[in-house]
Amino acid sequence: MRKHSITRITATRIAVAGIAAASLTTAVTIGTGQASADGFPNGPYCHGPVQVMAESAVSQVVICPVQGPTGWAYSGKAKTTGNWIDVWGATQNSLGFHATNDGYTYHVHRDRLMITAPNGSVVSSEPWTYYYQR
């Protein structure tokens, strides 16, 4: 009978310690993450405020202000494969932002992500399910 009481007290102490540790970890993570970066959890992010943050059924994209000739960087993740791409030197015009890598161009428009091949054909056209622009 005594063994049962000790086990219950130990289990209670472990549970309380686990809850306290989880609360502390959550508070630290949220405070640090919010102050240092904008972006998607486990996805593309900027080391400061994002200019554009968008998501389609298969992609996550952020446009970040950076130092350089164009002032913009593109970071994207394919949710289906987990593949990432970061392109410095993205440009902006009246249609949106554009980043080119190995001949492929990533067009970030207000309504969709359009990816074109080196020959100009459309590889992907993905309507956004979420779009935010500063």
- 3-class DSSP string for the chain: CHHHHHHHHHHHHHHHHHHHHHHHHHHHHHHHHHHHCEECCCCCEECCCCCEEEEECCEEEEEEECCCCCCEEEEEEECCCCCEEEEECCEEECCEEEEEECCEEEEEECCEEEEECCCCCEEEEEEEEEEEEC
What residue segments make up the domains of the chain, in order of their start? 1-36, 38-133
pLDDT in tens, 47-91: 888 999 999 999 999 999 988 888 899 999 999 999 999 999 999
User: Region 7-35: what's the mean pLDDT?
Assistant: 34
Share of the chain above pLDDT 90, in %: 58
More confident residue, 8 or 65: 65
pTM, two decimals, is 0.70
